[in-house]
């Protein structure tokens, strides 16, 4: 079954000798219709560049969004890690050896500051030669003296005065 051909303008049946239009009038009208809405747009190089820039910006937004998600994930992990109990590292002043030696020094010299003679407040057992510069003398009885908090903090690690004498 052949589809019957019709005029592209008036949709009347075409004769076998007619190809697309039934009359010269329809042919002229068809030519005018062909140009309408089908005009080629002039290529604007600036518009093309703007489209490329917009595409790059969209790509950057997606990349930035991915980076922000990754940053949020890492922040969450960091928060979890901070919340976990960390194993306590025992320092020198937490060691059993220091506590035993400190007790012996206070027992031998009494709970009196050897610099000012005060027996009020907290008493510190001070290293005459500082641990930072003489770590080998850290647990030597002969390198220790009893000082009150004020005298010990005032002496700091730069003064090697021996107040025992």
Same structural domain for residues 103 and 146? yes
Vertex 105: Cα angle to 104 and 111 (nearest 5)? 110
pLDDT digits (tens, 9 = 90+) for 24-73: 888 777 776 665 545 555 667 777 888 888 888 777 777 777 888 888 88
As a whole number, mean pLDDT of residues 89-102 equals 87
In this prediction, residue 33 carries a pLDDT of 65
Structure tokens at 17: 């000798």
Same structural domain for residues 125 and 96? yes
Same structural domain for residues 104 and 131? yes
Distance, in Å, from the CA atom of 31 to the CA atom of 160, rounded to the nearest integer, reads 109
**Does 164 reside within a domain?**
no
Distance, in Å, from the CA atom of 4 to the CA atom of 22, rounded to the nearest integer, reads 13
Predicted model pTM: 0.46
In this prediction, residue 101 carries a pLDDT of 95
Is residue 145 over pLDDT 90? yes
Q: What is the DSSP string of 51-77?
A: HHHHHHHHHHHHHHHHHHHHHHHHHHH
Domain carrying residue 102: 92-155
Same structural domain for residues 100 and 142? yes
């Amino acid at each position: 079954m052949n589809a019957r051909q019709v005029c592209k303008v008036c949709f009347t049946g075409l004769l076998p000798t007619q190809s697309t239009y039934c009359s010269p009038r329809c042919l002229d009208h068809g030519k005018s219709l062909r140009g309408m809405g089908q005009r080629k747009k002039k290529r604007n190089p600036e518009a093309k560049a703007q489209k490329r820039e917009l595409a790059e910006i969209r790509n950057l937004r997606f990349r930035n969004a991915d980076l922000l998600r990754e940053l949020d994930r890492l922040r969450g992990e960091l928060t979890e890690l901070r919340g976990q109990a960390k194993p306590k590292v025992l320092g020198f002043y937490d060691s059993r050896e220091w506590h035993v030696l400190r007790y012996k020094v206070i027992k031998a010299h009494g709970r009196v500051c050897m610099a000012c003679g005060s027996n009020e407040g907290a008493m510190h057992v001070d290293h005459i030669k500082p641990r930072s510069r003489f770590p080998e003398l850290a647990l030597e009885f002969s390198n220790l003296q009893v000082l009150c908090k004020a005298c010990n903090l005032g002496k700091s690690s730069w003064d090697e005065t021996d107040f025992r004498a």
